[in-house]
């Protein structure tokens, strides 16, 4: 009877300390925020977690607590894939701590220290965040809705010994696909993630001949963050996870997990390329599962790729400045200035443009927006095969078309390069200052 009780205690401690609990409880605000491609970063940090765990009432284990410490080293890099911002990261955790519990009047505890399973993650922003280099990124607006997806993989690389019931490694693969939404609202940002973790079986479970399997573990996250100033932001974090019942040797499933957490995060800059992030989270509900209080601190340093530009790109020649007031549906008019650059006024290569528009008389007063990109001259449209079309292609992915009426006038067209029927002015006219001498 005593041996059976001890085994039950160790089994429940194993469930408590398994990596699935950690996977489900991750809180990561701004996981899909825009970043320039060619950015490398190094992150290191420390976290301390302490708390209890709730088990099925049929298991006579009480007062189960843990004090776990972890440190990690992570590297990552952003890059462009199919024209979209993408990110790959790798994190190596080291864990040490103590877990204890009681059966009747007996109290038992165990300590462990060593490497846990590494975590590899790939993410891509599908909508709202194109691949931009640092120069393009600095000139672009970042207030678009973002739809993103990621896949995290944890191979069985952690410390594991089949003759020990409690291990830091899990001796199995874990896969975690996730879809994320991010909606910026002025200085605030709302992030919502939905994920599911899937696990292969541990075919070398204690004492070495058993097979341990685990059902899928679902999770939801919500974050509301506020940007105080550049690099300084705070966030309210929440998560829920459920599922993840385990099976031993194809036996009946244990009770499924169901827990929720809330917390907060603050990130502040140190100079231009470093930052410190501090977060705290606490278990709110835990019908079956762990309820940790966790305090974490991390330090990050980033490095941007340097792209030296040719001389003609560093100092492009001004080829034209066009100004005019365009119609506006909910304001008094859009004062527009379009500045075109190229290698020279006669060579339309290495082109770029700056479009500045002031919306006059909006509810919030006059609002000025700026946009950058490249421009091209196209020949012909549906109405006139000899028409010359000036096409603006924004670094954010937008396209505008103008008909070159003559050397001094550009007329706004629709997206299909057709003329717009309107009684209002649709033309931008070249200013004297931009005429070639």
Give residue-wise pLDDT tens across range 233-281. Answer: 999 999 998 888 888 888 887 777 788 899 999 999 998 889 999 999 9
Question: Could you report the per-residue pLDDT of 100-110, keeping only the tens digit for each?
Answer: 877 667 777 88
Q: What angle do CA 363, 365, 367 make, to 5 degrees?
A: 105
Q: Sorting pLDDT into bands at 50, 70 and 90, what band is 3? A: very low
Residue 399: burial class (beta carbons within 10 Å; 0-12, 13-18, 19+): exposed
Of 30-34, 211-215, 307-311, which gets the smallest average pLDDT? 307-311
pLDDT on residue 7: 40
Please give the C-alpha separations between residue 337 and each of 8, 311, 321, 347, 407, in angstroms, as whole numbers: 75, 26, 7, 22, 16
Q: Measured between alpha carbons, how far is 51 from 76 in angstroms, rounded to an integer?
A: 31
The answer to whether residues 79 and 111 touch, using CB atoms and an 8 Å cutoff, is no
Give the Cα separation of 304 and 432 in Å (integer): 40
In order of their start, the domains of the chain are 2-304 (2.40.128.130), 311-434 (2.40.128.640)
pLDDT by residue (tens digit) across 61-109? 667 788 889 999 999 999 999 888 999 999 999 999 888 877 667 777 8
Long-range CB contacts (< 8 A, 24+ apart) of 56-60?
56/254, 56/255, 56/288, 59/8, 59/12, 60/5, 60/8, 60/103, 60/104
Cα 402 to Cα 392: distance, rounded to the nearest angstrom = 8
Distances in Å between the alpha carbon of 54 and those of 13, 339, 394, 428? Answer: 11, 65, 54, 69
């Amino acid at each position: 009877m005593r041996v059976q009780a001890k085994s039950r205690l160790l089994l429940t401690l194993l469930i408590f300390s398994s990596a699935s609990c950690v996977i489900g409880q991750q809180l990561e605000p701004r996981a899909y925020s825009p970043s320039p491609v060619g950015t490398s970063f190094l992150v290191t940090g420390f976290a301390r977690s302490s708390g209890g765990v709730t088990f099925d009432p049929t298991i006579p284990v009480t007062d189960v607590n843990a004090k776990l410490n972890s440190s990690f080293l992570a590297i990552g890099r952003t890059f462009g894939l199919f024209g979209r911002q993408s990110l790959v990261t790798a994190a190596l955790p080291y864990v040490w701590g103590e877990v204890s519990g009681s059966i009747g009047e007996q109290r038992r505890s165990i300590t462990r220290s060593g490497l846990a399973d590494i975590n590899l993650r790939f993410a891509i922003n599908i909508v709202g965040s194109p691949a931009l280099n640092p120069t393009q990124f600095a000139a672009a607006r970042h207030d678009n809705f973002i739809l993103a997806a990621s896949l995290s993989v944890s191979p069985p690389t952690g410390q594991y010994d089949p003759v020990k019931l409690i291990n830091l490694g899990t001796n199995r693969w874990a896969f975690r696909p996730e879809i994320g939404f991010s909606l910026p609202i002025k200085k605030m940002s709302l992030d919502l993630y939905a994920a599911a973790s899937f696990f292969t079986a541990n075919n070398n479970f204690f004492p070495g001949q058993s097979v341990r399997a685990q059902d899928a573990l679902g999770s939801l996250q919500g974050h509301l963050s506020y940007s105080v100033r550049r690099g300084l932001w705070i966030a309210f974090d929440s998560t829920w996870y459920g599922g993840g019942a385990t099976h031993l040797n194809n036996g009946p499933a244990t009770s499924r997990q169901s827990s929720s957490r809330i917390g907060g995060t603050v990130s502040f800059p140190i100079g231009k390329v470093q930052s410190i992030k501090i977060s705290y989270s606490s278990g709110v509900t835990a019908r079956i599962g762990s309820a940790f209080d966790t305090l974490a601190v991390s330090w990050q340093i980033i490095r941007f790729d340097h792209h030296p530009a040719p001389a003609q790109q560093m100092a492009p020649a001004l080829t034209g400045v066009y100004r005019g007031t365009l119609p506006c549906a909910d304001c008094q008019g859009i004062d527009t200035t379009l500045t075109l650059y190229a290698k020279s006024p006669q060579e339309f290569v290495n082109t770029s443009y700056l479009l500045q528009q002031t919306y006059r008389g909006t509810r919030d007063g006059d609002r000025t927006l700026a946009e950058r990109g490249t421009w091209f001259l196209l020949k012909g449209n549906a109405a006139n095969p000899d028409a010359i079309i000036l096409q603006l292609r924004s670094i954010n992915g937008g396209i505008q078309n103008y008909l070159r009426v003559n050397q001094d006038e550009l007329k706004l067209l629709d997206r299909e390069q057709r003329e717009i029927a309107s009684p209002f002015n649709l033309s931008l006219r070249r200013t004297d200052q931009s005429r070639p001498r």
